[in-house]
């Protein structure tokens, strides 16, 4: 994504005239882009990689649709037949599976790149919010796809994840029924997940992506460091988009595609036994991107773990541009060395505190309740969440006292939360065994 630089016309006259396919690609870009925006470390190509993964998902998804049937009686059989009997059937399914997981990861890394480079600040604040909506759509797409094979993994992961909705005050029951199409997971759930997965969510994503890219162009391209280029031209020298940018994009697209296909060739997407509503696996886990929340459920009152904390996290993400108090970004990673040091300290503190809290709470949650006079929602929800909020505020204040700018202090506080969430997710994915007790990853599971 390049920029609408006022000097674009001048430099454009020296740009090579595009044709054919590159003409189509160039509709996304201006004719010339700042040379500084081409460095790999500027964006790591993560937004572009996300787009390639989205396109790979559309292509492999269309192939999967040839044989898939969205009914509880036929779904598992059609997937098993595709894997066992169709030439390259397993390969296409694997590619779809790994591209979907890759997209969740890459979009999240893209969010981090944007944030730590200050790309979320004005004039890009609106695009940050569009990006957040895209993140929700990506997670919703991955999650709705999870149910479609109708195996034990799918059935119970979706049972657990949708079950979290019941904790929403007042509307919980209605939301749960709306998500499942009834009180339990069944044909209505599969039908609505299928329509969301193959039509509504991809279409919404396509529209939002077009808007996202347009907004990138509208503000003049990706955020660049102050002082890029010479003093007279702060955005540095301009180069023709074709071939300078298009060639890089082509190579990056090939690398992403080759990586997905390679992984698909060596690692199979899981397919357990057919869904059995009468027999839950132990432990029954949500998909990895929800495991941080499931780990919270082990420790906190469900209202806080499944509703209030995720809502606060989303609100925090949306508020990040405003919390910086109108700061201008330098466009550098973490703004400065001091910012980077604050963020590293915050990451270590967040990880150590989260790990410590998990270990301390493990025996406590089985013991008789402490402060028995207090309601469980206060004892096991409000108090720990207030303590965590105080820790986040303390990290920001400490960073400020050590000379960090307001933006750097917000980055440190966010990093603290991020590191804690990462520890929760890794614990949930790797270190929870039967009955969600702590266990080594290599200890026997059900
Ligand atoms: C499927 C999802 C997404 C795709 C395909 C995508 C794609 C892109 C691309 C291609 C760019 C330009 C260059 C680059 O950074 O690589 C970009 C920029 C941007 N994206 Fe995304 N994005 C997605 C999701 C998100 C999310 C989740 C956020 C944050 C919440 C976000 C926020 C932004 C912002 C603020 C910019 C401008 C950054 C700057 O100017 O440096 N995007 N995106």
Q: pLDDT by residue (tens digit) across 349-362?
A: 999 999 999 999 99
Taking phi over 0 as left and psi of -120 to 50 as alpha, with beta for the rest, 325 belongs to: left
CA of 295 to the centre of ligand 1 (A): 29
Question: What percentage of the chain exceeds 90 in pLDDT?
Answer: 74
The residue assigned the tokens 């979320």 is: 120
Please tell me if the CB atom of residue 49 comes closer than 6 angstroms to any atom of ligand 1.
Answer: no
Instruction: Decide whether any atom of ligand 1 lies within 6 Å of the 46 Cβ.
Output: yes
**Interatomic CA distance for residues 342 and 397, integer angstroms:** 11
Atom of ligand 1 nearest to the CA of 45: 16
Establish whether residue 110 lines the binding site of ligand 1, counting it when its CB lies within 6 angstroms of any ligand atom: yes
Q: Whose CA is nearest to atom 11 of ligand 1?
A: 47
pLDDT tier at 203, thresholds 50, 70, 90? very high
Q: Give the pLDDT confidence score for residue 22 in this predicted structure.
A: 61
Ligand 1 pocket check for 209: Cβ under 6 Å: yes
Q: Are 161 and 286 in contact (CB under 8 A)?
A: yes
Q: What band does 371 get if pLDDT is binned at 50, 70 and 90?
A: confident
The CA 411 to ligand 1 mean position distance, Å, reads 18
CA of 54, closest atom in ligand 1:
1
Domains in the chain: ranges and CATH? 1-281 (1.20.810.10), 286-446 (no CATH)
Q: Is 43 in the pocket of ligand 1 (CB under 6 A)?
A: yes
Residue with CA nearest ligand 1 atom 20: 131
**Ligand 1 centroid vs 108 CA: distance in angstroms?**
10
d(CA 130, CA 146): 24
pLDDT of 187 above 60: yes
The residue nearest atom 43 of ligand 1, judged by CA position, is 47
Q: Is the dihedral of CA 54, 60, 62, 65 positive or negative?
A: negative
- Please tell me if the CB atom of residue 161 comes closer than 6 angstroms to any atom of ligand 1: no
Owner of token pair 């870009």:
29
- Cα 141 to Cα 205: distance, rounded to the nearest angstrom: 9
| 26-36 b/e (C-beta count within 10 Å ≥ 16 → b) | bebbbbbbbbb
Ligand 1 within 6 A of CB of 223:
yes
Q: How confident is the model over 378-431, as pLDDT tens digits? A: 999 999 999 999 999 999 999 999 999 999 999 999 999 999 999 999 999 999
Q: What is the pLDDT of residue 364?
A: 87
DSSP 214: H
Q: Which atom of ligand 1 is nearest to the CA of 1?
A: 12
pLDDT at 219: 87
26 compared with 265, residue with greater pLDDT: 265
Query: Is residue 243 reached through a cis peptide bond, with omega within 30 degrees of 0 on the bond before it?
Result: yes
Mean pLDDT, the chain, rounded, equals 90
**For a substitution probing ligand 1, which of 30, 44, 131, 206 has the most ligand atoms within 8 Å of its CB?**
131
Enumerate residues 6+ apart whose C-beta is below 8 A from 86: 67
């Amino acid at each position: 994504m390049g920029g609408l630089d006022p000097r674009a016309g001048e430099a454009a006259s020296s740009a090579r005239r595009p044709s054919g396919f590159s003409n189509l690609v160039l509709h996304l870009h201006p004719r010339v882009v700042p040379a500084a925006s081409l460095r790999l470390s500027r964006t790591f190509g993560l937004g572009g990689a996300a787009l390639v993964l989205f396109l790979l998902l559309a292509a492999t998804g269309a192939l999967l649709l040839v044989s898939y049937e969205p009914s509880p009686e036929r779904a598992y059989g059609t997937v098993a037949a595709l894997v066992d009997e169709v030439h390259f059937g397993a390969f296409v399914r694997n590619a779809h599976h790994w591209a979907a997981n890759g997209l969740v990861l890459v979009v999240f890394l893209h969010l981090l790149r944007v944030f730590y480079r200050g790309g979320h600040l004005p004039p890009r604040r609106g695009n940050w919010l569009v990006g957040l909506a895209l993140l929700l759509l990506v997670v919703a797409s991955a999650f709705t796809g999870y149910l479609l094979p109708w195996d034990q993994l799918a059935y119970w992961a979706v049972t657990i994840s949708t079950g979290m909705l019941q904790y929403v005050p007042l509307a919980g029951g209605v939301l749960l029924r709306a998500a499942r199409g009834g009180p339990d997971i069944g044909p209505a759930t599969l039908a609505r997940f299928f329509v969301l997965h193959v039509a509504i969510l991809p279409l919404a994503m396509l529209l939002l992506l077009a808007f996202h890219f347009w907004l990138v162009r509208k503000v003049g391209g990706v955020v660049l460091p102050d002082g890029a280029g010479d003093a007279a031209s702060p955005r540095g020298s301009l180069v023709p988009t074709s071939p300078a940018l298009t060639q890089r994009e082509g190579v990056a697209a090939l690398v992403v595609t080759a990586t997905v296909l390679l992984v698909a060739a060596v690692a199979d997407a899981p397919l357990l036994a057919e869904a059995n509503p009468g027999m839950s696996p132990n432990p029954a886990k949500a998909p990895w991107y929800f495991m941080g929340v499931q780990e919270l459920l082990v420790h906190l009152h469900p209202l806080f773990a499944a509703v209030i904390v995720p809502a606060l996290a989303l609100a925090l993400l949306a508020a990040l541009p405003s919390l910086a108090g109108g700061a201008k970004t330098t466009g550098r990673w973490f703004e400065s060395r001091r910012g980077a040091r604050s963020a590293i300290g915050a990451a270590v503190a967040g990880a150590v505190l989260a790990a410590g809290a998990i270990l301390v709470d493990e025996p406590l949650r089985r013991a008789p309740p402490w402060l028995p006079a207090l309601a469980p929602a206060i004892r096991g929800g409000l108090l720990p969440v207030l303590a965590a909020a105080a820790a986040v505020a303390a990290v920001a204040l400490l960073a400020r006292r050590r000379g960090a700018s307001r933006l750097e202090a917000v980055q440190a506080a966010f990093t603290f939360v991020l590191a804690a969430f990462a520890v929760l997710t890794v614990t949930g994915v790797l270190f929870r065994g039967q009955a969600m007790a702590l266990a080594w990853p290599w200890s026997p599971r059900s």
